Amino acid sequence: MTDRERVDLALKTEHDGNGFYEHAAKHTNHKLARAAFEMLAKEEIRHVQLIESLGQALESGTEVKVESPNLKSLEKNIQTIYGAAAAEPVEGEMEPAEAYAKAVELEKKISALYFEWMNECESDAAKHLFGVLYREEQDHLSLIEDMLGYLTDPNQWFVDRDMVMLDGG
């Protein structure tokens, strides 16, 4: 597979990921899940833009500039989402957990693909970008697994973080 073919497949994959997250956001009535899926949909669009830049760079022979958020900035965004959701009662069924489980599967697959590509690419620019995308997808995976834990067992989630929940007892 050529680097150009990898770019084309990565674009399709990121568009599909964006579609999945937008669909999940629209079809959940759980505020935490909806906000998280909206954030992840935006991240996938940012990835599309990075990959498009790589495609242009491969054609023109120019360098790709990558500005990547670190895990801390993503966690801060998620903490804001958690904070807003903490004041809200859980709404509806726990269907968001199903969507999170699918998101975990999606992020694992794309992470594995980017890891493979960063080691196989012909150009240094492609190797670098797929390395960056691999790390970002790993960060997404960590955050999604954390959110899944919050949804499925919020009491244990708080205990794991040494946050005491007072139940009045």
**At residue 77, does pLDDT exceed 60?**
no
Distances (CA, A) of 138 to 12, 104, 135: 19, 10, 5
Q: 91 in the Ramachandran plot: left (φ > 0), alpha (ψ -120 to 50) or beta? A: beta
**Distance in angstroms (rounded) separating the CA atoms of residues 46 and 44:** 5
Q: What is the pLDDT of residues 12-51, one digit of tens each?
A: 999 999 998 998 888 888 888 888 899 999 999 999 999 9
Residue position matching structure tokens 């009535």: 29
Q: Which residue has the higher pLDDT, 55 or 77?
A: 55
CA dihedral angle for residue 43, residue 34, residue 138, residue 142, rounded to 10 degrees: 150
Do the beta carbons of residue 163 and residue 43 sit within 8 Å? no
Q: What is the pLDDT of residues 79-132, one digit of tens each?
A: 454 444 444 444 444 377 888 888 898 899 999 999 999 999 999 889 989 999
**Distance in angstroms (rounded) separating the CA atoms of residues 38 and 24:** 9
Could you give the domains of the chain? 3-160 (1.20.1260.10)
**Distance in angstroms (rounded) separating the CA atoms of residues 24 and 63:** 35
Closest CA to 51 of 134, 112, 141, 126: 126
Say what the pTM is: 0.76
- Name the residue type at position 153: D
**Token pair in block for residue 161:** 């973080």
Contacts of 112 (CB under 8 A, 6+ apart): none
